[in-house]
Chains A and B, each alone.
Chain A
């Protein structure tokens, strides 16, 4: 992969030129909550924030959108109204999350809605500062080698810039004067030092090795009932998880007409009606059953299918769940056969 070097003070000028391609979006912090917002320049972004509340999946797969307009004649696809966006400041876990979404939405049957947004969104990653909730060291997602268009690693005076796609390369070419290919010994030493520093930042204690077997052994464990008792079925874990892709579809009719829209919106397997079939049979009536599906899917089933967990260690479930059910507490409870307080 092409790796370039850029002076740190040149970043605002680079982003200014990139805006010619599309809207610039980046992490901004307001009242202690970080979220992606449309910005004019780097100065409005908060690059020190560890995680946004909602992962960047919302740009590729919005919480609610219209798939079709319909009338009595049939259904007309609604595409083409997606703006071109540049997302700046994605962390390695965010990019890994999108790589998993790519597998789900672009393989086998290609989802045209996701594909369109994916093509019209440039992903510009940025190195991060892990906090006590970060678990990416345990999911092997603390660094990232693909999926982004550009990735900026902050080495104090300089950025090392990984060029991950032809589109990313085009952005670089818009301001080729800001980039250099002359990397020397010091750059390598600085980068090695950075990796060491990052690896030393993690404080969470979590080990996901052997999870598929632990889940298989623990399928009937009363741990699930105990966790189910605590769970509120609120579904926030699904909303904030970068790899939760489930959705529901409803038809909305304009009153008094036969016209309307077929809309798609985020769903969660934590919701009671998630597995209900016609006639009312619910394949997962108990909260424990639904909780087990969520975690089995991420930490066991996905490993069997794709060779890695569908958890990127971003820590959003840790930061969000009101009753402390998350990847760390569930995997630990299952291993130690005790639900922590």
Chain B
């Protein structure tokens, strides 16, 4: 019998998509009583400019020993070097992250997911509608557009919060309001301070102030609590914005970010690789994208 050696050891070297890189928190400050804002850069500073991402994408963030979860990116790639994200104190991991101090390190991998179709949005009017925490991913898009202002038409930013104290990036938006090339409308459901100088009422009340819009030439980007979508979508569809030009970014439980763990599955899509940015048409014909129950029989 002739002996032979079967060699299999020369498998191709490839990156492990689950491998977190270590990043350092360089700045942290509270946005509200339960939401913190973070800036991070790679521990290895030479890597800082190699992080390429697009508005709408997310990262997997981990603390060794506590776990890993997806977080949207709040910074814009037009200002490279630092990653910014917002974290609300919610579960075990978010509480640990919430307690992170400057100079501590975290694991980050990504970016993952699709992004807002900026190539198609260029030259168009843009309407951004953010409710509550929904500003976290939309801030990336807004800042990107403002940093490339000449490439876009009219830009409208609608932002709603429960009350003045809950408004994320409040100071930043009050500054942006002064810009002449941005129509920035802010509202709170209820003013409990007596000092609020902007609108009061649900975010949908802002639509009355918009005046005529060039709907076919408009892209809308929406993010907010599930309850907000139904009413905001009604307005946007009524305004005549095509359903595939109304975009939203969605949240799901994720354990991998790369289409393997299954948790974010919706029909044949994975929110992590086919999303998190979907159009209103996707949501209408892909049941369960925004958590419609079996009893929902709406057609519009």
User: Which positions 271-295 of chain B face chain A at CB distance < 8 Å?
Assistant: 273, 287-288, 291, 293-295
CA distance A333 to B11 in the complex (A): 47
Residue of B nearest to A109 (CB): B258
Taken together as a complex, chains A and B put the C-alpha atoms of A150 and B213 apart, in Å, by 65
Given contacts A70-B64, A251-B65, A279 and B16 within 8 Å (CB-CB): no
Nearest-neighbour CB distance to chain B for A50, whole angstroms, equals 28
**Does A37 count as interface, using CB distance less than 8 angstroms?**
no
- Given known contacts A247-B261, A249-B67, A251-B67, A177 and B1 CB-to-CB distance under 8 angstroms: yes
**Residue in contact with A116 in the complex, picked from B11, B226, B267, B291, CB distance below 8 Å:** B11
Residue pair B90, A278 in contact (C-beta under 8 Å): yes
A105-133 interface code vs B (CB 8 A; 1 in, 0 out): 10011111001100110000000000000
Contact B255–A258 (Cβ < 8 Å): no
Chain B residues whose C-beta falls within 8 Å of the C-beta of A247 in the assembled complex: 255-256, 260-262
Q: Please judge, given known A-B contacts A248-B261, A251-B67, A260-B64, whether A115 and B11 are in contact too, CB under 8 Å.
A: yes
Bound CA–CA A335/B300 (angstroms): 28
Across the interface, which residues of B come within 8 angstroms of A193, CB to CB? none
How many residue pairs bridge A and B at CB < 8 Å? 150
Q: Quick one: which of B90-129 are within 8 Å of A by CB?
A: 90-91, 93-94, 105, 107
Q: Give the residues in chain A near B107, CB-CB below 8 Å.
A: 74-75
Contact of B263 with A251 in the complex, beta carbons under 8 Å: no
A81 contacts the other chain (CB 8 A): no
A21 interface residue per 8 A CB criterion: yes
A279 CA to B18 CA, complexed, in Å: 25
* Complex interface bits, A172-183 against B, C-beta within 8 A gives 1, otherwise 0: 011111000000
Find chain A residues with CB under 8 A from B14 CB: 110, 112
Query: Is A84 on the interface with B (CB-CB < 8 A)?
Result: yes
**A-B contacts besides A251-B68, A288-B294, A297-B265, 16 pairs, CB < 8 Å:** A17-B1, A72-B105, A73-B22, A75-B19, A109-B17, A109-B258, A111-B260, A174-B3, A245-B260, A245-B262, A249-B261, A253-B65, A267-B261, A275-B253, A296-B267, A304-B267
Please list the residues of chain B having a beta carbon within 8 angstroms of any beta carbon in chain A.
1-4, 6, 8, 11, 14, 16-22, 62, 64-69, 88, 90-91, 93-94, 105, 107, 226, 251-253, 255-256, 258-263, 265, 267-268, 273, 287-288, 291, 293-295, 297
